[in-house]
Amino acid sequence: MLRYTIRRTLVAVPTLLFISFIIFAILDLAPNDPTGNLPLTIPPDVREQIRAGLGLDEPFHIRYLLWCKQFFVNEPLNILEQSFGWQFGDGERLRVTSWATRSPVVDLIVERTPQTLWVVGMSYVVAILIAIPIGVISAYRQYSWFDQFGTFFSMLGFSVPTFFTGLLFIIIFSVWLGWLPSIYDTTLVVDDWSSFAQQMKQMAMPVMVLALFNAAQLSRFMRASMLDNLNQDYVRTARAKGLKERTVVLIHVLRNSLIPVVTVIALGVPQIFGGAIITEQIFRVNGLGQLLIIGIQGADIPLVQTLTFIFAVLIVFFNLIADILYGILDPRIRYD
Amino acid sequence: MLKRTKLLSTIAAGAMLATPAMAERGADGQLNILYWQAPSIQNPYLSGGTKDIESSSLVLEPLAYYDKDGEIVPALAAEIPTVENGGISEDLTSITWKLKSGVVWSDGTPLTAADVVFSGEYCMHPEGGCNAASNFTDVASIEALDDLTVKITFGVAKPFPYGPFVGTTAPIIQKAQFANCMGAKAPECTAENFGPIGTGPFKVVDFKANDVVQYAMNENYREEGKPHFSTVLFKGGGDAASAARAVLETGEFDYAWNLQVEPEILIQMEAAGKGEIVNSFGTSVERLMVNFTDPSSTLGEERGTVDHPHPFLTDPAVRRALSLAIDRQILVDAGYGKAGQVTCNVLPAPTAYASTANDWCKTQDIEAANKLLDEAGWVPGSDGVREKDGVRLSILYQTSTNSVRQGTQAFIKQMWSDIGVETELRNIDASVFFGGDQSSPDTFQKFFADIEMYTNNFDGTDPEKYMARWICKEIPSPANQWLGNNMPRFCDAEYDRMSLEMGKTAEPADRIRLAKAMNDLLIEQGAIIPLIHRGDVSARALSLGGVKMNSWDSELWNIEDWHRLK
Amino acid sequence: MTDLAKPGEETIGAHRSLWMDVWVQFRAHRGALVGAAVFAIITLVVFLGPIFYTTDPGYLDYRAKNLGPSLAHPMGTDNLGRDMFAQVLAGGQVSLAVGFAAMLISLVLGTLIGMLAGFFKALDGPLMRLTDLFLALPLLPLLLVIILVFRDTLRLTFGPETGIFILIVTVIGITSWMQTARIVRGDVLALKEREFVLAARSIGTRPTKILSRHILPNVLSPIMVSATLGIANAIITESALSFLGLGFPSDFPTWGRLLFDGANFMTLTPSRVIWPGLAISLTVLSVNFMGDGLRDALDPRIRGR
C-alpha cells in the first residue's frame, strides 16, 4: 500500500502539470473577455489598451509559463517568507494577480476559504449524518413506509435544483416568517454568544439547501450498496454464527457497503472547497464558489486558473485517499 | 446653542455633545447599500464596471459632476469654466479650472492642483490600461498654474471641453498616495487600489474584494454636518430580483441598484410597504441594430464585411416594415413598466436633442408594413414567409442573455411573423457578447447575425462622440480587428459630413440641429430601429431620505445628503 | 452470488428464460409497476397531448398574462401571456429526450471506463487520470469553448434545433460520466477478488465474458442509482446551458427552463413553478422505481425467491 501511495503521488505531479496546461488552454480559448462588463461608453481602442495592460497581448505559451512561474515558484517562496521570516532575493516577486481586483489571487482565496468551509463543509457533514442512517434503514427495511418516504424525499431533494429551493426558503423564512436573514453578512465577527447565534441563523438556509441536495444523493448510493450486501453469503454466515443482528448490520454489512459511498464523498470533498456556486450566489456568501463564478463572468484568467488548479489538486488527492480507503474497507483489494 | 455646537464640532471634528443637533455629522448611523454586482476594486481608473465606479464615488470626487438634470455642477472646482467667465479660451483649445480653496484629503493634507495634474498623467499613461482614457482624448497638456489652478490644453478645438475630470469616471486621486503606481506599476498597488484616499464624504475602512466594502464618514469632509450617515456597508453579488427583495420585502438593505426585473415582480414586492422603486431617465435606448452586410458563414473570412451587402436588409422597404410591425408599448409594459418609454429616436435625451420627426414608429401598423413589403415584391411563400428571387425573409436575431431581453425577443418574433418574416432567436452570455474577444464569433461588433439588440448610451449630456459612432470610418471589419462602433455598417456621405461639422461647431443651437438631423437620418434609413427609452431603476427603503436618482452620473452622486427619515 | 456460477440451474435454458424471468420478476415488483405506469402516462401525455390540446406554446397573448389556472388555460399563463400547459407539454418532449439521451451517454461511458479501469490493472492508471482531468475541468469556460468550436458547424449540418440537441446531449454526457466511472471502478476492484470471479477466471472464461456475465450484473445497483440521478441532472443542466446561450433558443420551452424562468414569479403565479417542478420530480421518481424494479429483477439472489 505504501509503495502504491508513493507511486501514485509521483504520477500525480506530471498529471497535475498536464491538467494545469489543459485548463489554461480552455480558459484562453473561451470567448469571454475581461472588458465585457465595462460600460459600453468606453470605446474599443481604450478596451484594446486595457487588454494590453493586462498582458493579454503576449503569446499563449509565454502567459502559461509566466503563470507557472508565479504559482509554482513565487507563491511558495512567498509563503515561506511569511511563515518563517526568511528572505529570498529582494522579495520583489510577481505574484499571481487577479485582473479584476489587481490583488494577489492567493490572498483572495485565503480570505474566502473560511466561509466556504463553514457553510459548505457544514452542509456536507449534515448531509452525511442524515444520509447514512437513512440509507441503512431504508435498505434494511426495504419497501417499508420509511423506505418509500425516504425515496420520495431524496428524489424530490435531488430533482429540485438549488436555485429553486434557495429562493423558496428565502420567501418562506425571510419574507413571510422573517426568521432568517436572506443575505449573508460577511462582516460579522463571531466573538460572543449573540454573534454566534447570528452566525448560526445566517448559515441555516444555505446549509439546509445544500444538505438536502447532497443527502439525497448519498442516501441513494448508501441504500443501493447496503441492499447488495445484505443478501451476501457472509451475512448469512455471520447470522448463523449467532452474532447480534445489530453487529451484523452495522459492522459487517455497513463496512462492506461503504465503498461507493466513500467514492461519492471523496468526489464531494473537493467540491466543499470548490464551494457551491449557485447557493453561495443566492445567499451572497463570500465563498470560493462565488469567487469562481465572478472570475468566470469577468474572464479573470489568473484567478480562475489558480482556483481551478487548486481544485484539481484536491480532486487528485482525495481520489487517492479513496483508493487507499478501499483497501482498508476491503482487504482483498490490492493494487500492487 | 446651535451656533456653539457647530463651532465646537468643527474644532473637535464632530465630538459628541449632549444636544442632538440637526446638523451633526454622522448622526444617522449605518447605511446599507446593495449592488448585485460586487465591487472588485476601489480605483475607478482600473475598474471592471459600473459597480466599481459608483462605489468609489463615495470616496473620490471629480472637479465637476452631472446633477440629476444633466447640468454640470462643481464638486472640487470653485465654478464651472465657460467661455463667458474666461475659463475656456476663445479658440476652444484650453480650459482652466479653479479648485475650491481649503479642501483637504481624508488624511488631512490639502488638495492642490498637483493632484489634478497627476491624476491626468496617471490615466493618460500608455501602459496603465486606464479605462477613462477616452475622457482625455486630444489632451495635449495638463499644467498647474498655481496651487489651485489647472489648465488643460487640447491639441484641437474642443467645443465641449468637459471630458477630463468631469463625472465620476474620471475623479482626482491623491498624488502622494499613487506616485509610485504609474503605468505598468498601476495594477501592483493593491493597497492603494483597495483603499484610495479621497476628498469625498466617506473613506474606505475595509474592502473585501468582490464582496463588500465598509466605509466610515470622512471627518475632514468639506461640507459642514455631512454626511449624515456615520458608516456605509456596500454589499455586492447575487441577482437583481433578490436585491430588490432585500430592500422592498425583507427591509435588510436601504438601497438597491439597477433592478432590471419584470415590472409585475417589482410592483408585487413594493406592495410589501417597506420601500419604493425610484427611477430616472438618461440617454439609454434599447435598440435593434440592422446588419447591412451579409453575415452568412459560407463567406468565411469575409462574412460581415461591406464587400458583401445583406441579401434583404439592404432593401429600405424591409427595414421600414420591420420597424412598423413592432408594437413598442407592449414591449414597455411587459419588460420595463415605469422604467421605459416608447421611443423612435436613438438620441432621446436631453430633451432639447429629442427629435419628433420619426413619431410614425410609435404606433404599430401591420397593414402598412405588409403593404410596403407587397409593393417591394416580397410575396408570401407556401409557409407564409415572404420571399423574392429565392431570398426568404428569415432573420437571425441575437442579444445578450437577460430574461427581459428574451421576453422582448419573443414578442418581436411574433410581431414579425404577422408580416411574413421568420425569426430565429439567439441569446449569448453577456461577457461574451460585449466582450470583444477576437476569436469569438458571438461579439456584438462582429455581428454575425441579421439583427442584434442591446442598450447603449453616452456619458454626460453631449452627444457629439455618440453620434460619431455611425460614420463610415467606424465600421468594424477584420482590417481594424473589428474595433469599430458602427455595428449596422451604415455608411452615408451626408452623415459623415454632418458629424465632421458638429466637431467644429460650438453654438449650442447649431449642435442641436445637427444632432437631430443625424438622428433622423439614421432612423429614416432604418439602420437602427429604436425600441425603448430605458430608465434606471433602483429601490430605496421608505426610511431613506435624500435619494435623487441620477442617470447622467453615479447614482450615489449626492450620498452626503442621504439621511434617515424619522 | 454463488448461484450464478452454479451449473445446472442457471445456464441450462438461460437464453430462453433469462429475460422472461426478469420480466416476470419486474412485473411482480409493485413499485416498479407504479413507476412504469406513471412514466408511461407522462410520456404519453407529453407526446400525444399536443394533438388534443392544440394551443400554440409560443403564442403570446399579452392581455392574458399572469393568469391563474382556468378552463382556457389549465395551468395559467406566464408573464408574456403564453399558455403554461402547452409549454409544459412542449417542454416535456425536449426535457425527456435530453434527459434520457444524455443519461445514456454518461452511463455507458462511465460504466465502460469504470469496468475497464477496475478490471484491467494496466488501464487503471491512465483511465483514472483521465477521470481526474475531466473532474478538474472548469465547466463553464469549457462549455463556452464548445459552443465556439462546434455550434456553427452543427447548425449548418443539422439545422438549429437538431444541431443544438446533439450538442447539448453530448456536452452533458461527456461532462457527467466521471462519478459513475469512479463508483463502478470501486465496486469492480472489490468484486474481481471475490470467489466467483476467481472461479470463472480459473476455468478460463474470457475477460470480456467475465465482465459482462459476472461483474456487470453485480454493479447494476449503483449504476441504476446513477441513472436516476443522471436524468435529474441532465434536465437541470440543460436549463443552465440555455441560460449561457448554449442551449435551445429562448423561445423553446423545456422543463428546466420553465422552472428557472418561473422562479421569480413564484409568489405571483405559483403554477409557473409547481407544474414544471412536479413534472421533473415525477419523472425522476418514476425512473427511480423502475430502476429499483429492474435491479431486483436482475438480481439472481432475489429472482429465485
**Cell matching residue C274:** 409547481
At B535-547, the pLDDT tens digits run: 999 999 999 999 9
Alpha-helical regions (H) of B66-209: 113-124, 175-178, 190-194
A182 to B188: CB separation less than 8 angstroms, yes or no: no
At C128-146, the pLDDT tens digits run: 999 999 988 888 888 878 8
Rounded to whole angstroms, the Cα distance separating A116 from A275 reads 6
**Cell matching residue A217:** 444523493
The C-alpha of B435 sits at a distance from chain C's nearest C-alpha, in angstroms, of 13
pLDDT above 60 for C302: no
Of A32, A36, A40, the CB nearest to B456: A40
Bridge partners (DSSP) listed for residue B77: B99
pLDDT at A5: 84
State chain B's mean pLDDT as an integer.
Answer: 88
Strands B544-545 and B379-380: unpaired
The C-alpha of B88 sits at a distance from chain A's nearest C-alpha, in angstroms, of 25
How many Å separate Cα A268 from the centre of its chain? 6
At B236-250, the pLDDT tens digits run: 888 888 899 999 998
pLDDT above 50 for B14: no
pLDDT at C240: 75
A37 to B126: CB separation less than 8 angstroms, yes or no: no
ipTM, two decimals, is: 0.82
Mean pLDDT, residues A187-204 taken together:
87
pLDDT above 70 for C13: no
pLDDT band at B2 (very low <50, low <70, confident <90, very high): very low
Query: What's the one-letter identity of residue A248?
Result: V
Search chain B and give the residue with CA nearest C159: B424
Rounded to whole angstroms, the Cα distance separating C106 from C90 reads 25
Q: Between these two residues, C25 and A175, which has the higher pLDDT value?
A: A175
At A120-134, the pLDDT tens digits run: 888 889 999 989 889
pTM here is: 0.85
Rounded to whole angstroms, the Cα distance separating C78 from C90 reads 15
Q: Between these two residues, A143 and B517, which has the higher pLDDT value?
A: B517
Rounded to whole angstroms, the Cα distance separating C117 from A321 reads 17
The C-alpha of A31 sits at a distance from chain B's nearest C-alpha, in angstroms, of 5
The C-alpha of B253 sits at a distance from chain A's nearest C-alpha, in angstroms, of 9
pLDDT band at B6 (very low <50, low <70, confident <90, very high): very low
C182 to A152: CB separation less than 8 angstroms, yes or no: no
Determine the number of helices (DSSP H) and then strands (DSSP E) in chain C: 13, 0
Highest mean pLDDT: which range of A40-44, B32-36, C266-270, C289-293: B32-36
Search chain B and give the residue with CA nearest A31: B440
pLDDT band at B488 (very low <50, low <70, confident <90, very high): very high
C221 to A27: CB separation less than 8 angstroms, yes or no: no
pLDDT at C3: 41
Cα maximum dimension of chain C: 76
At C200-254, the pLDDT tens digits run: 888 888 888 888 888 888 888 888 888 888 888 888 888 777 766 667 888 888 9
At B320-331, the pLDDT tens digits run: 999 999 999 999
Mean pLDDT, residues C57-82 taken together:
85
Search chain C and give the residue with CA nearest B265: C265
C143 phi/psi in degrees, rounded to 5? -65, -40
The C-alpha of B405 sits at a distance from chain C's nearest C-alpha, in angstroms, of 10
Instruction: Confirm if B243 and B259 have CB atoms less than 8 A apart.
Output: yes
pLDDT band at A332 (very low <50, low <70, confident <90, very high): confident
pLDDT above 70 for B332: yes
Query: What's the one-letter identity of residue B290?
Result: V
State whether residue A186 sits within 8 Å of chain B by CB.
yes
pLDDT at B498: 94
At B135-148, the pLDDT tens digits run: 898 899 999 999 99
Measured between alpha carbons, how far is residue B330 from residues B373, C62, C206 in Å? Answer: 23, 8, 70
- Percent of chain A at pLDDT above 70? 96
Of A46, A112, A282, the CB nearest to B134: A46
Instruction: Confirm if C285 and C39 have CB atoms less than 8 A apart.
Output: no
Q: Which of B36, B242, B265, B303 is the best substitution to test chain C (most C C-beta atoms within 10 A)?
A: B265
pLDDT band at B288 (very low <50, low <70, confident <90, very high): very high
pLDDT above 50 for B20: no
The C-alpha of C218 sits at a distance from chain A's nearest C-alpha, in angstroms, of 8
Mean pLDDT, residues B345-369 taken together:
91
pLDDT at B30: 92
Query: C286: burial class by Cβ within 10 Å (0-12, 13-18, 19+)?
Result: buried
Bridge partners (DSSP) listed for residue B379: B387
Residues of C in contact with B427 (CB under 8 A): 245, 249-250
Rounded to whole angstroms, the Cα distance separating B428 from C246 reads 8
Of A35, A175, A294, the CB nearest to B435: A35
Mean pLDDT, residues B438-464 taken together:
87
pLDDT at B15: 38
pLDDT at A36: 74
At B385-416, the pLDDT tens digits run: 999 998 999 999 999 888 889 999 999 999 99
Rounded to whole angstroms, the Cα distance separating C214 from B70 reads 79
pLDDT above 70 for C16: no
Sign of the C-alpha dihedral computed for residues B351, B356, B358 and B360 taken in this order: positive
At A297-331, the pLDDT tens digits run: 888 888 889 988 988 998 898 888 888 888 888 88
pLDDT at B320: 93
How many contacts, defined by CB atoms under 8 Å, are there between B and C?
A: 69
State chain A's mean pLDDT as an integer.
Answer: 84
Highest mean pLDDT: which range of B56-70, B293-307, B469-483: B56-70
- Percent of chain A at pLDDT above 90? 4
How many Å separate Cα B279 from the centre of its chain? 14
Q: What DSSP assignment string belongs to C202-236?
A: HTT--HHHIIIIIIGGGGHHHHHHHHHHHHHHHHH
Cell 424530490 locates to A156
Q: Using omega within 30 degrees of 0 as the cis cutoff, is the peptide bond preceding B201 cis?
A: no
Sign of the C-alpha dihedral computed for residues C112, C115, C121 and C124 taken in this order: positive
Residues 75..104 of C with a Cβ closer than 8 Å to B: which?
79-80, 82
Search chain B and give the residue with CA nearest C148: B440
pLDDT at B7: 41
Instruction: Confirm if C146 and C167 have CB atoms less than 8 A apart.
Output: yes
- What per-residue string of b and e applies to C199-228 under the rule 16 or more CB within 10 Å gives b? ebeeeebeeeebbebbbbebbbbbbbbbbb
Rounded to whole angstroms, the Cα distance separating C223 from A140 reads 20
Of A164, A231, A270, the CB nearest to C259: A164
C140 to A152: CB separation less than 8 angstroms, yes or no: no
State chain C's mean pLDDT as an integer.
Answer: 83
**Cell matching residue C254:** 423545456
Q: Which of B1-10, B72-81, B296-305, C34-43 has the lowest mean pLDDT?
A: B1-10
pLDDT above 70 for B17: no
Q: Which of A150-164, A299-313, C7-21, C32-46 has the lowest mean pLDDT?
A: C7-21
Q: Between these two residues, A247 and B147, which has the higher pLDDT value?
A: B147
User: Could you tell me if residue A180 is left (phi over 0), alpha (psi between -120 and 50 degrees) or otherwise beta?
Assistant: beta
Measured between alpha carbons, how far is residue A201 from residues A282, B190, B239, B242 in Å? Answer: 16, 34, 22, 19
Q: What angle do CA B118, B97, B463 make, to 5 degrees?
A: 95
Q: Which of B114-118, B365-369, C54-58 has the lowest mean pLDDT?
A: C54-58
Of A27, A164, A260, the CB nearest to C183: A260
pLDDT at B16: 40
**Cell matching residue A15:** 498529471
pLDDT above 50 for A237: yes
State whether residue B436 sits within 8 Å of chain A by CB.
yes
